[in-house]
Structure 1
Amino acid sequence: MARFAEERLALLWREYLTRRAVGVYMTGGTFYRLGIQGRLSYPDQRIAEDIKAFTTTTLSFLLMLLSSLLTVFTFSSVLWLISPLLFFTAVIYAACGSFMTILLGRPLIKLNYNQIDCEAGFRSALIRVRENAESIMVERSQQRHAIRLLGQFDELAANFRRIISVNRNVGFFTTGYNWMIQIIPVVLIAPAFMRGDMEFGVITQSAAAFAMLVGAFSFIVAQFSSISNFATVVGRISSFLDAVEEASKATDTGVECIESGGDFRYQNLTLTSPTGDILLKDLTVKLAAGTSLIVVGDGDSASTALYRATAGLGTAGSGRIVMPPGQNLGFVGQRAYCGPGTLRQILSSQEPAAEETDERLLELLRQLGLERPLTLGDLDAEQDWSSLLSSREQRIVALASAIVAAPRYILLEKADAGFGQERLADILNFLAKRGIGCVNFAEPGAPRAGYDAVLEYGRDGSWAWIDQHKHESPGP
């Protein structure tokens, strides 16, 4: 019953902490900023494994500490009545043993920290090989990846050998420490027994009380391996919390993104590259509802920077981006990712329009160009769609998911290369019929036919708004 209560409490605590951790990790782009900052290694490991170890170990330690305290209260008075000298010896002996154990085993904390990272890195590398098996096979790069895998394993093994060495030293000390517990009370009581001041039975009683009391005081000595692992886990969770707190703070890039119920527009927007070069200067344009726009020019740096700034990915610059709130604005990136789950969950990740039935969802996919035959049962089939679908098919599914939410605007990144010109023309017509505005941040030289307007930029940051139906309006 006690074990059931301990495991149940540990699970409830883990559920609470994990939900909190996932909440802060996946909110406000924290997971993205952690990745690009590169300050924290394997946050997934800390959420999945370290929180589990923290909750179970903490409860286990609390119960052991409670048991040790009860033992101390029970046997302290017994040992004091037998010999105050034995009592003080037990306290001093346990304190010295704890100090020496900490001194010898302290390197374990950092070594265990590194070992967890090494294990996670090796496992992650194996997963990447499995996920990219076809590319590795085609490129004939098996040897290179095998060498890298073995190199990571060698690092893992070398660190573990250092852990074994430290555990050996701690083990030698604790073995001698435990043997001395049996000898010390006999040595201290023997003179009194020889003088006839103490009966033989008292020696046995004092030895037992001494062993119990020292054992209770020697919690650190007895549990140092678990304590060092626990300290590692606490350190990893603390670094995770610190990194999350830092990453959750909005980085001031100078570009102000605000949500408004009006049209989509850029106001006095200037974007710069990481080296400080101006990519776009004083961009001020307004995109009316239902308008299709292509962003194109010399090179693709400005187009990419404008897309990233609009998506809130922290592009340096100044000015303002005013966009519709919430799901009124949809994004389809160059590398769409469906991930595991059901197709219904992916298509309805945002609040779907009321008229979208199962049949209409499948028909939408077919209209957008998904040639893979799907049935109603596929909507609720649990699949890893990122492995099952090609990159182009994942972009179609991502576009369908954006359309299902009935947005006012959809922003596409390099849709020409992703969908092909013929399919992209059909998509533009499809969006126009639904009254959805579209912005394609295209590759250099992309055809401009089929769009209502063109935003053309130059290498010096200049831009021009070209109304395909009227006239050209040059920028600064």
Structure 2
Amino acid sequence: FFEVFNMSAREAWKDYYGVASLFWRSGTSAAATGKRFLHLCAMLLFLISCCNVTLSFILRWLMSTLEMRDHGSFLRYLGALLGILALISPMETWLNYTRDRLSLAWRKWLTQHFIGQYLEDRNYYLIELKGAIDNPDQRLHEDIKHLTAHSVKLMVDGIHSCFQVLIFFGVLYSMSAWLAFGQLGLAAAGTWITVILGKRLVRMQKDQQRHEGNFRYSLVHLRDHAEPVAFYKGEATEGQCIDDRFGRVCQNWEAVITWQRNVDFFTTGYAYLPILLPYVLVAPLYFNGTLDIGALQQAGMCFQKLHTALAMVVHNFNDLSAFTASFKRLRDLQLALEKRGYPPPVVAHEEGSEIIVDKVTVVLPNWQRELVTDLSLRLGTLSDSVLVVGSSGVGKTAILRTIAGLWQSGRGRISCPSDPSKLLFVPQTPYTTLGSLREQLLYPNAISSDATNDQLLQVLEVVCLQSLPHRVGGFGAVMDWSTVLSLGEQQRLAIARVILLRPTFVILDEATSALDEPNEARVYRTLQEHDIAFISVGHRPSLVQFHRRVLVVSEGGSCELVAAADYKGQAYS
């Protein structure tokens, strides 16, 4: 079964335990609550099993009274039957409720745990950068949901099956040893055949999850880049890409349902065997007078209960295949999150009050090419500024990413503040969070900031966006800001964040490229007025006047730092 995932049963258990034990061994109140729910499930299952075996005897005696036409005894056993059913019904309802609460508690804790690791130390960025894990969003959403739901279901079914086997095997053995051991052999053969037939189905289920994730990503990608696609009129190309990915979804799903049909030919027939076999095996005992009609009825019920318990793998095969794919994908994500950072050598980052770049060599994260070699730079406080220039592709943005700590591949040492309130990075396309206009302005400190609306409005006036609150319905308005605001407005909004946060340093990666020169000049003068030191990447010659020094990055990775007054601009393109 587990060969589909290139692992043995022992490795599969190790992977599953590595993910599942995170919750059960966490020592949190959520884990304690989960254990209480599990104990309650076990208790209810035991009581239900006891009621079921009692029910089998009551049905036996009820059938015997019918055979003997004993009206008084029939009414007594009928009342007992109603009493047992009145007990079983609420217990099964509470069992389903408790099982669902356990699944929810487990999913809630595990999701929060994985998201915490995903956001820690910029793991979300590194995983995307390395491309080691496909569709992490699907793993955090779908796979955790499947893992917890199927785990709880399989645990509850497993406990129930154990109680059913222990109780009903004894009852069945007391009637007919052949019938009891025949059921064990039937269950073993059915399980083995189902696993053999279903191995291919497990592999298809694994591929289906990957194809579904890729198809969903293509739709999200189109939504996130709707405007560029519209400008290019690229609907045909995008449609072809989406159709190709959806075609793989349908093609694989067609294979799944076709092979599921083949498995169902066996499992459907197998499900009817417990209806036939007990009567075939026990009927001779009835005809020779050893058992009465009630015992025959009880034997049929016990056989079916025992069959259901022993054939757990057969009846839950689809859940097992989806469950196995889920915990394998989650285990891969867990291991990727634990392998943090870059392989050595890396650029050493230290905490400091200034930005100091000491003999740094910047390398692509895949280690295929050196972009910048032996760079040294020092940026002090109080409006110190450096403009990074050079032709496209030489590594200007790579320098900024390395200073900000996003890239660590390379050599050398960087000392700078790590607190975003002291060092802020502003990209060319600003990030717009899922929230209100107030949260856009105060990001990433929207939760802790106590800025008033009047203060926010004053900052918006500085960046010429004073009409924005009125236009969108106030600071509490929640919109898709990446589509509501133009790129120029988004860039000015990002500068407003800088003014509100007032960091010591800010790194601007073509952060004013969508602004006209008067607005761009206003932005840089505002930064200077607030004594914010900055490093900029830009292509406009007009930017030189706002910087004290210019770092010229050349092809081959060499760098030259010159005074802005001495910079001639020949290397500028």
Gaps of 5+ in 2: 1-93, 569-573
Q: Are 2:273 and 1:180 equivalent residues in the alignment?
A: yes
Query: 1:152-205, CA deviations, whole angstroms, 9 ceiling, x for partnerless residues?
Result: 222111111111122112211112212222332333334555555555554333
1:379 aligns with 2:472: no
For residue 268 of structure 1, the aligned residue among 359, 374, 385 is 359
Q: Deviations over 1:261-298 (max 9, x none)?
A: x2222112233465544524242434333212212235
Q: CA deviation at 1:436?
A: 1.0
Aligned residue for 2:387, secondary structure, equals strand
Match of 2:144 in 1: 51
Q: Which moved more, 1:375-384 or 1:435-444?
A: 375-384
Partner of 1:259: 351
1:419 paired with 2:515, answer yes
Q: 1:234 to 1:275 in 2, by over 3 A?
A: closer
| Aligned twin of 2:465 | 370
Aligned residues of 2:394 and 2:554 also touching (Cα < 8 A): no
CA distance in 2, matches of 1:14, 1:367: 46
How do 1:307-386 and structure 2 match up within 5 A?
307-314=400-407, 316-326=409-419, 327-351=421-445, 356-370=451-465, 373-375=468-470, 378-386=474-482
Range 131-140 or range 22-31, more displaced: 131-140
95-104 or 174-183, larger mean C-alpha shift: 174-183
**CA deviation map 1:190-240 (0-9, x unaligned):** 455555555555433323222221121111112222222222222222222
Instruction: Give 1:416 deviation, angstroms.
Output: 4.8
- Deviation of 1:105 after TM superposition, in Å, equals 1.3
Change (3 A) 1:316 1:420: farther
Q: TM-score, normalised by structure 2?
A: 0.75
The count of residues paired between Structure 1 and Structure 2 equals: 470
Q: Give 1:465's match in structure 2, choosing from 561, 569, 572.
A: 561
Please state how far the C-alpha of 1:431 moved relative to its aligned partner: 1.2
Q: Which has the higher helix share?
A: 2
Q: Deviations over 1:111-141 (max 9, x none)?
A: 1222222223223323333444444344232
Matched AA of 1:258: E
| 1:405 equivalent in structure 2 | 501
CA distance in 2, matches of 1:320, 1:72: 66
Within 2, Cα distance between the matches of 1:84 and 1:231? 36
> Residue 340 of structure 1: SS of its match in structure 2?
coil
Which residue of the partner structure matches residue 197 of structure 2?
104
* Most deviating of 409-418 and 15-24: 409-418
After the TM superposition, which of the residue ranges 158-167 and 399-408 deviates more from structure 2?
Answer: 399-408
Please, which of 26, 32, 39 is the counterpart of residue 119 of structure 2? 26
CA distance 1:232–1:282, shift in 2 (3 Å)? closer
Instruction: Name the CA shift for 1:278/1:199 in 2 (closer, same or farther; >3 Å).
Output: closer
Provide the C-alpha distance between the structure 2 equivalents of 1:97 and 1:298, rounded to a whole number of angstroms: 69
Query: What pairs up with 1:189-200 in 2 under 5 angstroms?
Result: 189-193=282-286, 197-199=290-292
Partner residue of 2:299?
206
Q: Is 2:374 the counterpart of 1:292?
A: no
Aligned partner of 1:434 in structure 2 is 530
Shift of 1:92: 1.3
Contact 2:495 2:523 in 1 (8 A): no
Alpha-carbon distance in 2 for matches of 1:113, 1:61? 19
**Aligned-pair CA distance for 1:252:** 3.3
Aligned match of 2:179: 86
Question: Structure 1's 428 and 229: CA in aligned 2 closer, same or farther, altered over 3 A?
Answer: same
Contact 1:269-1:284 within 8 A present in 2 as well = no
Q: In structure 2, how many angstroms separate the alpha carbons of the residues matched to 1:279 and 1:298?
A: 13
Look up the SS of the partner of 1:401 in the other structure.
helix
Note the C-alpha offset of 1:443: 3.0
**Conserved 8 A contact 2:491-2:511:** no
SS of 1:181's partner is helix
1:433 aligned partner, one-letter code: E
Structure 1 residue 451 corresponds to structure 2 residue 542 = no
Residue pair 1:82, 1:206 contacting (<8 A) in 2 also: yes
Specify the alignment match of 1:395 in structure 2: 491
* Structure 1 length-normalised TM: 0.90
**Cα 1:30/1:184, change in 2 over 3 Å:** same
Deviates more, 1:225-234 or 1:2-11: 2-11
CA gap 1:349/1:251 in 2 versus in 1, 3 angstroms: farther
Q: Relative to 1, partners in 2 of residues 1:364 and 1:23: Cα closer, same or farther, differing over 3 Å?
A: same
Residues 140-179 of structure 1 aligned to structure 2 (within 5 Å): 140-179=233-272
Q: 1:348 to 1:461 in 2, by over 3 A?
A: same
Alpha carbons of 1:458 and 1:240: their partners in 2 closer, same or farther (altered >3 Å)? closer
What fraction of aligned residue pairs are identical, expressed as a percent? 27
Indicate the residue corresponding to 1:15 in structure 2. Answer: 108
In the superposition, relative to structure 1, how do residues 194 and 297 fare at CA in structure 2: closer, same or farther (>3 Å)? Answer: closer
C-alpha contact 1:263 1:289 (8 A) present in aligned 2: no
